[in-house]
Amino acid sequence: MKRDFKEEFDKIKTKMENKENFAFVRFSDGEMFIMQNQTVVLAASYFVTGERVGNNIYTKEEQKEFHPSKHQFYRQRLIETLRFRKEGYYKGICTKTDVGEVNFQWQLDLHGEGDEDHLTFANVLINSNYPRYVEELVPLLKEREVIYVVNELADLSGLPFEVKKDFRIGSNCMIDNYDTARKVKEYIKDNNIENHVILCSAASLSNFIIQECYEDNPNNTFLDIGSSLNPYLKLEGWKFTRGYLTSYWMKSDSHWGKQIDQW
């Protein structure tokens, strides 16, 4: 089960160029920690991951909380989205480059055997592939009808493509805006939406939206793009927490901008 970081990007780009409908959903370290039943908190000036606590700056659009004692429903739903199988439904997981061999294997075990062809890198659109994402993939959205699930603080006027319809979410959206998945699915059905691109920048809520909507509507493309467009949206949090973005947009020397993930 080999994977090449650049080749996996090429697969997604080719699908976009050919206007082939598919879904890509990300299970980055935050999703992994939640599925492992660890406490996850991103607060204004600190973070908690299990028993690990540290200081950092998280602006409002990046703040979230998962507490195992209160939020088991969302954890189980997240696991369901990892195990879901459908032609064209691609799941990006953390690799040993980010989380080590043990956690990498843990994700594979949780996913279960079979459907390996639909597993790819969680970071396939970012890190060292991010310049190509901005310069080669994002321009393709100019040719498509785009729906965007995005934070309520985002300013869409700076995007290099048009957005037909947006759904707004707030902080801790996985829990506080869970019903957005239903709203997006109803919009698609009620308006006979086909061959659109639905972009999701909604943390773990993106997983719920994409799985639920693609299950019933495989004639659209769903992309979990995380914070990759935040510099266009006049949001500031990425400057403190996203090395792959500071590497490209601020010419920082962050190693994330050079990282080639390894399977």
pLDDT at 1: 80
pLDDT at 51: 87
pLDDT at 11: 98
Q: Tell whether 43 is covered by a domain.
A: no
pLDDT at 150: 98
For residue 205, the one-letter residue type is L
Backbone torsions φ then ψ of 216, nearest 5 degrees: -100, -15
Q: Tell whether 161 is covered by a domain.
A: yes
Q: Tell whether 104 is covered by a domain.
A: yes
104-to-32, 60, 82, 153, 220 alpha-carbon distances in Å? 10, 30, 14, 34, 30
pLDDT at 4: 97
Range of the domain at 247: 5-27+86-257
Residue of 138, 128, 135, 125 lying closest to 92 (CA atoms):
125
Q: Tell whether 22 is covered by a domain.
A: yes
Burial of 163 (0-12, 13-18, 19+ CB in 10 A): middle
- How many structural domains comprise the chain? 1
User: In a structure prediction context, what are the per-residue pLDDT tens digits for the chain, which is 263 residues long?
Assistant: 899 999 999 999 999 999 999 999 999 999 999 999 999 999 999 999 998 999 999 999 999 999 999 999 999 999 999 999 999 999 999 999 999 999 999 999 999 999 999 999 999 999 999 999 999 999 999 999 999 999 999 999 999 999 999 999 999 999 999 999 999 999 999 999 999 999 999 999 999 999 999 999 999 999 999 999 999 999 999 999 999 999 999 999 999 999 999 99
d(CA 40, CA 247): 26
Q: Tell whether 140 is covered by a domain.
A: yes
Task: Using only the alpha carbons of the chain, give its radius of gyration.
Answer: 17
Q: Tell whether 63 is covered by a domain.
A: no
Counting runs of H as helices and runs of E as strands, what totals does the chain give?
Answer: 10, 11
Q: Tell whether 178 is covered by a domain.
A: yes
Helix (H, G, I), strand (E, B) or coil at 54: strand
Query: What global pTM score does this model have?
Result: 0.96
Q: Which two tokens stand for residue 119?
A: 């597993």
Q: Tell whether 137 is covered by a domain.
A: yes
pLDDT at 155: 98
